């Protein structure tokens, strides 16, 4: 199936390094980053899982629960976690789904259509507390994921959910934001953005980040 932004993230039950995961129940009211790996003991993914663990505090303060998926079995995952902890000097503190039957990979359209083997592509799904898919990213096997970008996207989504703004190119938390074009009422603008705004064009109005 092809998943689009706004679709409900498919629910599933699957084994993991932390026992049986019933996905929607496990997610609860948190944001979730679900990310896939083609196989255990792969070099780029080893660094990515280590980075995810190292950023555990950053995910937690945003109310985000990371969860990984690979098609190898739990025993292999646990052995790989030992390598990750050793080589990346961290402690993996999130579950890795053991998707040997490719249930999750199929639900989330992670099977590479041009692969010589049924390996999962390296995808990222950012899922909100209502279980809606809010962003997706897919990387080639040779390019490690940019976790600064993943956190930046989460910051943008959480900010723009609570305020009538959008985030411009290369925005980072604390930078100016854009007032959405549909907001035209002067009184509401003044109430929402008491620091004022700069109208570069009628449709391009920059203002200080409202939650700072």
Active site residues: 45
**144, 158 in Cβ contact below 8 A?**
no
β pairing state of 122-127 and 31-36: antiparallel
Distance separating alpha carbons of residues 112 and 119, to the nearest angstrom: 6
β pairing state of 177-179 and 165-166: antiparallel
Cβ burial of 153 (10 Å; 0-12, 13-18, 19+) is: middle
Q: Considering only CA atoms, which of 114, 5, 10 is closest in space to residue 69?
A: 10
């Amino acid at each position: 199936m092809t998943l689009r932004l706004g679709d409900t993230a498919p629910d599933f039950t699957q084994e993991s390094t932390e026992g049986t995961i019933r996905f929607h129940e496990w997610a609860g009211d948190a944001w979730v980053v679900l990310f896939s790996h083609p196989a255990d003991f792969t070099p780029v993914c080893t660094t990515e899982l280590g980075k995810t663990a190292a950023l555990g505090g950053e995910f937690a303060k945003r109310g985000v629960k990371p969860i990984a998926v690979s098609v190898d079995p739990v025993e292999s995952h646990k052995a790989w976690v030992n390598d990750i902890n050793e080589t990346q000097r961290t402690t993996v503190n999130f579950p890795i789904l053991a998707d040997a039957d490719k249930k999750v990979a199929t639900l989330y359209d992670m099977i590479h259509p041009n692969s010589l083997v049924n390996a999962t592509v390296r995808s990222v799904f950012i899922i909100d507390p209502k279980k809606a898919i809010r962003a997706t990213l897919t990387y080639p096997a040779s390019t490690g994921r940019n976790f600064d970008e993943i956190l930046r996207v989460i910051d943008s989504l959480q900010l723009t959910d609570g305020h009538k703004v959008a985030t411009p190119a290369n925005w980072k938390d604390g930078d100016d934001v854009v007032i959405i074009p549909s907001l035209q009422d002067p009184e509401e603008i003044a109430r929402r953005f008491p620091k004022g705004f700069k109208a570069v064009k009628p449709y391009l109005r920059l203002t200080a980040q409202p939650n700072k």
